[in-house]
Chains A and B, each alone.
Chain A
């Protein structure tokens, strides 16, 4: 997949996976890898960028004697998801449009 497109989609996916409950790095990783091909070295900068844009916040919680960083979605992050939700219909149209053109092109 195109890198820029993938990065944008991954950002939305991360926010989506945090929409109902807080989560941590590895858990987000496993959840997303079933949807898109993702590596740890791709995920980490995305998490940092989202944190820097205040779309998510972090806190440290003790787990099995070590500290684990938990990510939570912020209100701004939730808003971003809602905006994306509004765009889903448009995205459908775009995908369908391209698909159709590809199909007629192949004929």
Chain B
């Protein structure tokens, strides 16, 4: 660890303190570091002597109760989570209920749209697949008719034969195309379901973090006292 990393770590652990206190502590240790460098110590030596940033901050937080008082720590907890206040405030107002309704109906609509699209695609491809078979079948029937027609008019018979082969060709193309795209559309449908599941889990976690995460943080602060 070098000087910059050490101070970054220190700063990270100071995030829960008020800005003035944070700056004061940082200034003190910056000064101390520079004074020690000036007096000839090297970086690693100083880092070893000063110790672990986390324990420095913990020690300070325990001591500051003497002059800052226990209550100021709870003020910290609230300051640190203004989001919680916003949510509490919203709960108090009826707006939240309508907002939630709108939010969830939008989600529901999106979900339904995705499900419908994927099912439509699947049905579409099945239809094309079936029509492909119809083309092939029709083509073969047409060949039979073309041979019959040849007995009356060879030219017409051959024309019909050609047309039947084209029909069969189109049918084959359609079938082959569907064979490759149907798995794709099924995969698409599955993926959409998975994505929707992930989204729901993500939202659930965010809510849990906001409520229970902060409750746990509050409990931790109590232990420190």
Q: Would you call A48 and B31 a contact (CB within 8 A)?
A: no
**A19-75 with Cβ < 8 A to chain B:** 24-27, 29, 39-42, 44-45, 47-49, 52-53, 64, 66-69
B223 within 8 A of A: no
A57 to B158 CA separation, bound complex (whole angstroms) = 112
Q: Would you call A53 and B67 a contact (CB within 8 A)?
A: yes
Q: Would you call B31 and A25 a contact (CB within 8 A)?
A: yes
Point out the residues of chain B lying under 8 angstroms from A44, CB to CB: 25, 28-29, 56, 60
Q: Would you call A41 and B31 a contact (CB within 8 A)?
A: no
Point out the residues of chain A lying under 8 angstroms from B51, CB to CB: 39-41
Q: Would you call B63 and A45 a contact (CB within 8 A)?
A: yes
Q: How many residues of A contact B (CB 8 A)?
A: 21
Chain B residue nearest in CB terms to A39: B51
B50 within 8 A of A: yes
A45 to B29 CA separation, bound complex (whole angstroms) = 12
Point out the residues of chain A lying under 8 angstroms from B36, CB to CB: 26
Point out the residues of chain A lying under 8 angstroms from B55, CB to CB: 41
Using A25-B28, A68-B31, A69-B27 as known contacts, say yes or no to A45 and B49 having CB atoms under 8 A apart: no
Q: Would you call A26 and B59 a contact (CB within 8 A)?
A: no
CB distance from A52 to the nearest CB of B (A): 4
Using A40-B29, A41-B51 as known contacts, say yes or no to A26 and B64 having CB atoms under 8 A apart: no
Point out the residues of chain A lying under 8 angstroms from B27, CB to CB: 67, 69
B12 within 8 A of A: no
B27, B35, B50 pick with most chain A CB within 10 angstroms? B35
Q: Top 9 closest A-B pairs, CB basis? A: A45-B63, A26-B35, A52-B67, A41-B56, A41-B59, A40-B50, A25-B32, A45-B60, A44-B28
Can you list 22 A-B contacts (CB < 8 A)?
A25-B32, A26-B32, A26-B35, A26-B39, A27-B35, A29-B32, A39-B49, A40-B29, A40-B51, A41-B59, A42-B59, A44-B25, A44-B56, A45-B63, A47-B28, A48-B24, A48-B64, A64-B38, A66-B31, A66-B34, A67-B27, A69-B28
Known: A41-B51, A42-B59, A44-B60. 18 other contacts (CB 8 A): A24-B31, A26-B35, A26-B39, A39-B49, A40-B29, A40-B49, A40-B51, A40-B56, A41-B55, A44-B25, A44-B29, A44-B56, A45-B63, A49-B66, A67-B31, A68-B31, A69-B28, A69-B31
